[in-house]
A and B are shown apart, each in its own frame.
Chain A
Amino acid sequence: MTRLEQKFKETRAEGRIAFMPFLVAGDPDLETSVSIAKTIASPADLLEIGFPYSDPLADGPTIQAADIRALGAGMDTDHVFTYIKKVRESTDVPITVLVYANIVYQKGIERFYTEAKAAGVDGVLIPDVPVEEIEPFAQAAAKAGIDPIFLVAHTTTPERLKKILRYAKGYLYVVSVLGVTGARASLSADMPKLLKRIRRQTDLPLAVGFGISKREHIALLEKQGADGAIVGSALVKTITDNLSNKKRLLQNISAQVKQLTGAD
């Protein structure tokens, strides 16, 4: 059983939603970013790690700024793998990465997945590779033993979902809103309908992301039958707000994560 299967089996058995924080690797720098990941790894059920990219077209301003900080600190593909290895040394939670297509393509598709596996990655999501273009990536993923994670949106038709399900493993990343990443005040009212519609076609765990920023959002998603809640921009914003004081940054992130998981 893969780490991902094991984790969702466990959270489902416990009847609770998985907490899945997202961080940009190397934001604001390699060392601090490793400390942040280690700080949140214990309440987290899964870590999502973003590769910083110059042109992240699915991301809003908060994560764009984090990408720029990480790139400015010298984070390239090799450094991100080093980062993941370091995080992996201290935790056994599943790690999935979010990475734009060109970064994978330039490393060499097969080589990217091989190196990701060696670093301790369990799943790879490429936001700008839809199912139409997934074949070479999916083949490399299968060969390396990595789960290909897919986005499913409000605009995904049942026919498209059927195609996606031919390849998808691990979990589905359900995009909660029409839009880019970024903290939002409230969840889409159509969420229950979307979750039900997807559930009719698959038993894969459904993790909801984009705009999730509060404990209430997570509680609501749990009620609506989601298997996981992904929190990204809200955490990255805490990093952005505490750049001048790393000790306070770690304290605040730790407090925020406790608050989000209801452990405070």
Chain B
Amino acid sequence: MDKKGYFGEFGGQFVPETLMSALEELERAYGKFSRDKKCRAELARHLHEFAGRPTPLYFAERLTKKAGGAKIYLKREDLTHTGAHKINNAVGQVLLARFMGKSRIIAETGAGQHGVATATVAAKFGLECVVYMGEVDMERQKPNVLRMKLLGAEVVPVSSGSKTLKDAINEALRDWITNINTTHYLLGSVLGPYPYPQMIRNFQKVIGEEARRDILKREKRPPDYLVACVGGGSNAIGLFYPFLKDKKVQMIGVEAGGLGIASGKHAARFAGGRVGILHGTKSFVLQDKFGQIKETHSVSAGLDYPSVGPEHSFLREIGRAEYVSVTDKQALEAFSLLCETEGIIPALESSHAVAYGYALAKRLPKNKIVVINLSGRGDKDLETVTRAQSL
């Protein structure tokens, strides 16, 4: 058996002593919460009535026809309330925070989807909410900054380091160390110290449970491929996890290739990183020879992060999942492709999965099935896309 809090050699609890009692408290509370029938029923009710679950598994007919190969299904997380899978985890953790008696919620955000989801649930449950966001990300995801403010959250600009998601997590952790007695840190991805990666995966696995149930009903068999984008990796692990026991289902995580791996300007941890320790967990990290963390690049703020969830590192190591990358350019092309063929505007993060899933479907025979996780909608990206297209 793995050491507590580990997936093989990945994971752990690499945080300052001040935080350890809070992690112990969180672990105990989450254990109680997840065993409590009433808590589970309440979570299911809010996911249904507030977040809008279940989301459809949509057969992308015109996209399939255009690819001329495997059948393409889209798991429509973009249709949830607030427009991305992030709400699943936010609802779960806000109930847990209330269960623990915390009055204040903090979060980090990259693309702003997790920040919006957190601000939303904080408003719904009447909790104080502070969201840390890198200045670069605030600039490129303006609509989400406005949404968070409308929802009553305080958005704190982070100007240290690369001014993106990594630095927002540093600031959120510093806030948590300072306000540990009143505050729950509502981390947004399957990152950070134990129990976060395990807990957040469990809040996200509803994606894969629904997709599995629906595809078995529709096709009478599991799909051949699952494709999802991987920043921290919460939408991907949410889709993958319930299929792990279906040995023939191949799982592909798509990282941000940025301007290309050779350029060095990317966020493909599995292509350019090695095992290291960042933000409380041991996983693949983009870093220099001495362990200083590298700045990353991606057109999508949500994938622009130098580490990856430890469970992904583990799935890759045991050969259960495969990780590839897609460039900014390919993601932008897939963005337009999905807009024009299916009438769906995908988030730039999800566009990475669409790009790879479409190319994959093209080279597969017609009797194969590919499920792509459409993790979020792209309204927030219109400015970035318009700018890129005019260049």
Residues on A lying within 8 angstroms of B by beta carbon are 53-58, 60-61, 64, 71, 76-78, 100-107, 127-130, 132-133, 150-157, 160, 164, 175, 178-180
Contact = CB atoms under 8 A, between A and B. Distances in A.
A128 B16 contact: yes
A102 B20 contact: no
Contacts, number: 115
Contacts of B276: 102, 105-106
B151 interface: no
Nearest to A60: B174
Contact of B177 (A105, A130, A150, A178): A178
Nearest to A180: B174
Given A102-B276, A155-B18, A180 B289 contact: no
A105 B293 CA distance: 13
B138 interface: no
B287 interface: yes
Nearest to B20: A130
Nearest to B170: A57
B18 A175 contact: yes
A133 B292 contact: no
Nearest to B291: A106
Contacts of B79: none
A157 B21 CA distance: 8
A156 B17 contact: yes
B180 interface: yes
13 contacts: A54-B161, A57-B15, A57-B279, A58-B174, A77-B291, A102-B285, A103-B291, A103-B292, A106-B276, A128-B15, A128-B280, A130-B16, A155-B22
Contacts of A76: 288-290, 292
Contacts of A128: 14-16, 277, 280
A132 B16 contact: no
Majority-rule SS of B interface residues? mixed
Nearest to A155: B21
Contacts of A61: 160
A124 to B, nearest CB: 15
B22 to A, nearest CB: 7
B16 A107 contact: no
B171 to A, nearest CB: 9
Given A57-B174, A102-B285, A155-B180, A107 B290 contact: yes
Interface string B144-179: 000000000000000011000011001001100111
B278 interface: yes
Contact of A54 (B19, B174, B280, B292): B292
Contacts of B17: 130, 150-153, 155-156, 160, 164, 175
B341 interface: no
A11 B374 CA distance: 64
Given A54-B292, A55-B161, A106-B290, A101 B277 contact: yes
7 tightest A-B CB contacts, nearest first:
A106-B291, A151-B17, A179-B178, A153-B18, A102-B291, A155-B21, A102-B277
